[in-house]
Structure 1
Amino acid sequence: MARAMPSCAPCAAETGAGESRATPSPVSAPFVYTGSMAARITSFADLLAPVDEATFFAEIHDRRPLHIPAPDAAKFSDAMSWQRLNALLNMTAIWSTATFAMVLDRKPVPPEQFTTPVDDRDRRPSRQPHAERVKALLRKGAAIVLNDIETLTPGIADICNALEARWRGRAQANLYCSWEAHQAFDVHFDTHEVFAAHIEGEKVWRVYEGRVDHPIAHPAYKQLPREYHERNRGKVLMEVTLRPGDLLYIPRGQYHDAIASAPGSVHIAFGLTHVIGFDVMQVVFEQAMQDPLFRTNLPLPEDGPAAV
């Protein structure tokens, strides 16, 4: 039987702190709203409240970042909490190197340093988190990243469903658990819309003026060097401390970074990917492949003009 994973909350105390190139473009000033929040999230409107959808799409979406402070710290309690996170971490069998990662001071930790080889349910070789190794890294200040957790709690599933229903796109959820004074990731942009829901602790976010026009999940955008990002991030546009219940919207392509400012910080990043022109091209490609005309060799010069 696998050992229980370490409790994240206590570990916070133990740490003592817890090709073609894209062209950046300027953005408008950020929005900040205040107001009371509902505890249950069943729609995109609930997620945005008190900002109404019409205002969001007319003035904010794809234009500027948006910070919504929440006087109700329990806004995202249906999605996640320290208790739920610890319970999920103890379920070692559900995690693999694809869904469980660790990062220490902006460098990914090799999976061999915090996992152990096992056979999965289909008796295929796999790796799962090893409790003592994970705990040792947490004490050094390493962050935990849980990928693709869209269905792990009813609250997370509700938010993903609400995003997909309103945007007609694909929603993904990743959780980040990090510690004070240990930055997990360098400044970067994402290839999707980001809605960061803050769960526990505090984290300082900086959103920069630099923005890449409509980046996609392709090596041309995903493998840009650190120097490129540092050169093109621009000046700080917004610096905000997220607390439990807060929401931060960051448009696709907007440069940002973050660092925990409390002994332990947890947030869930909901990524929303739109349907784009390349998706349409892929559908057309699949359809064209069924037509013999598009599978026919192009004519050679010897075939003459009649073959064209």
Structure 2
Amino acid sequence: MVSSDMFWNIGHKITGHDLKGSLGMGYRKFRAFFGTSPQVCVIFWDRLSTRRPTNSTPEHLLWGLMLLKQYNIESVNATLVGVTNKTFRKWSMIFIRLLANLSVLDWEKRFENAPRGTSTFVSLDGTDFRIMEPSAFDPKWYSHKFHGPGLRYEIGICILTGHIVWAHGGLPCGEWPDLRLARDAFIHRLQPDEKVVADKGYQDQHYFENPGGDQRKKRILARHETVNGRIKQFCCMKDRFRHALFLHPCFFHSVVNLTQLMIENGEPMFAIDT
């Protein structure tokens, strides 16, 4: 049976940390290489039990996490783990796809422990990610947030729990402003009269409540930025995406699923009502 100690030992063969050395330094190194804790690695490994190849090992999961977290060029990662580029590419991508396809987010959990009478359960925000400039320039890719080409996604967070309950997108930033993206799928999942807290980019009072001078709503959106920041701690989401564009949603959903499992397991978001 795979344990957190097993991931700890395997991970530090890659990081080069002396297992007899500082425990705190060991955790920092593990996090710097793989983006999460050995405990969350075990959770992922167990949840993938019926999906992962029978000849896969915990080390292969760590390779996928290392690609998400560090996003080094392939030859660097392959050298770090002592395999060929082809072997590293094969197993890291297998596990990134498996992570992306896990059912981690639960839209219905936005109602969990919600007070009676409320009709606002979720905050929504769009976030942009850098991509390589397409060979033929097209303004549809332009993001005003970093003045370059990018893909836009939206993330929905339960106001009460701080859990991620929605993630959608992967569309050209210039062609898909926040409101258009929300109208593509998100609003069709809302109940009648359900409202959503969002910033001024969502100008549709039928569905969205902008904060104005409401300090609680401002705090809700500030927490949302914290979640966006956690996602961009993974260099594949912070740096310019070098892989084929069709793979970006796969990397994105892997990171979102990982971020949500971390929120559920020892790294919660700050509460809005304290």
Higher relative strand content: 1
TM bucket by the smaller chain? under 0.3
Query: What is the TM-score when the length of structure 1 is the normalising length?
Result: 0.25
Query: Which protein shows a greater Rg?
Result: 1
